[in-house]
């Protein structure tokens, strides 16, 4: 595994320093008081300090246990608990308390649920609209096992953006995304645009897992071909030595080049950089893409 670049270490340290400030502590306390999880914690996001310091967080609904076992992910793998029926309301109330203009919420994959958790996503969107009507919503959903009815349940609630991450080129799926399917994930984006063309579709890719340039170019092109509006590109950082190792650390210049290639394919908004994650600066990306409709 290549050595972690000094500039990434410095950036992560700077972001972690933000966790010691009063704003970040208040964010963490508000989440704890409402028994809410964040992907910032569970996925060990390197931007956690910076986002918490700004009063931002990406909610992790439907618990903190995943039914799949992807080799790159830090979310716990075990037998999940039943959905908490009070969770959507608590998330909506926190959106109002924080005065959020834009809320992102995701979940572990819940293959144990008949609808993959779609109803829970829809209820979260509905209650945010009811309790905090000034907040726009972006559900970042799992593949829902390709269930069109479940996808329509989420879309019918009227989010501004529907997110689903392709994560990596097709050739890496067998070794890194157990239980997932490249074509099925692409179909989530395609079906979202077919069912509700007015809702922006968003996806993300991690770089550094061993993909070849031609594979990455094809994955970006495949997303563009399915009508994806918004794309994020970020560096994969292994959560631990037990996870899939990093094969390559991309430079800032390389991220800029890949971002420009994506823009030329017609994406309405692209964010590309080493510490970019799918929900990072989500509100700004939405505004940029919405302005190009």
Whole-structure pTM over 0.85, yes or no?
A: yes
What would the two tokens of residue 286 be? 């939405």
Q: What angle do CA 201, 202, 206 make, to 5 degrees?
A: 155
Structural domains of the chain sorted by starting position, each given as residue range(s) with its CATH number in brackets: 6-290 (3.20.20.70)
Cα–Cα distance measured from residue 138 to residue 228, given in angstroms and rounded to the nearest whole number: 14
By the 10 Å C-beta count (0-12 exposed, 13-18 middle, 19+ buried), 177 is classed as: buried
pLDDT, position 14: 62
Helices (H) and strands (E) in the chain, counts: 12, 10
pLDDT, position 76: 74
**How far apart, in Å, are the Cα atoms of 149 and each of 107, 119, 152, 188?**
18, 11, 5, 12
| pLDDT tens column, 212-250 | 999 999 999 999 999 999 999 999 988 778 788 999 999
**How far apart, in Å, are the Cα atoms of 77 and each of 63, 113, 170, 246?**
11, 15, 23, 21
Average pLDDT estimate for 62-76: 79
pLDDT over 50 (residue 19)? no
CB 248 within 8 A of CB 258: no
| pLDDT tens column, 152-177 | 999 999 999 999 999 999 999 998 88
SS3 230: strand
């Amino acid at each position: 595994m290549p050595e972690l670049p000094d500039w990434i270490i410095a950036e992560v340290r700077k972001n972690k320093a933000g966790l010691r400030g009063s704003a970040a502590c208040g964010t963490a306390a508000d989440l704890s008081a409402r028994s809410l999880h964040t992907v910032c914690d569970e996925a060990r996001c390197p931007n956690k300090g910076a986002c918490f310091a700004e009063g931002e967080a990406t909610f992790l609904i439907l618990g903190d246990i995943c039914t799949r076992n992807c080799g790159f992910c830090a979310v716990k793998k075990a037998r999940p608990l039943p959905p908490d029926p009070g969770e959507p309301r608590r998330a909506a109330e926190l959106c109002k308390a924080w005065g959020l203009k834009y809320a992102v919420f995701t979940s572990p994959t819940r293959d144990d649920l008949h609808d993959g958790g779609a109803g829970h996503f829809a209820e979260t969107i509905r209650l945010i609209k009811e309790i905090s009507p000034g907040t726009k919503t972006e559900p970042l959903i799992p593949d829902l096992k390709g269930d069109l009815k479940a996808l329509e349940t989420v879309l019918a609630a009227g989010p501004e953006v529907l997110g689903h991450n392709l994560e990596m080129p097709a050739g890496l799926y067998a070794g890194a995304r157990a239980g997932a399917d490249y074509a099925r994930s692409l179909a989530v984006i395609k079906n979202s645009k077919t069912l509700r063309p007015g809702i922006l579709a968003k996806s993300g890719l991690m770089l550094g897992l061993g993909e070849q340039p031609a594979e990455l170019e094809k994955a970006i092109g495949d997303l563009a071909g399915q009508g994806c509006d918004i794309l994020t590109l970020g560096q994969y950082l292994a959560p631990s030595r037990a996870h899939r190792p990093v094969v390559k650390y991309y430079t800032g210049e390389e991220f800029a080049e890949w971002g420009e290639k994506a823009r030329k394919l017609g994406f309405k908004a692209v964010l590309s950089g080493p510490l970019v994650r799918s929900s990072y600066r989500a509100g700004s990306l939405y505004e940029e893409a919405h302005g190009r409709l």
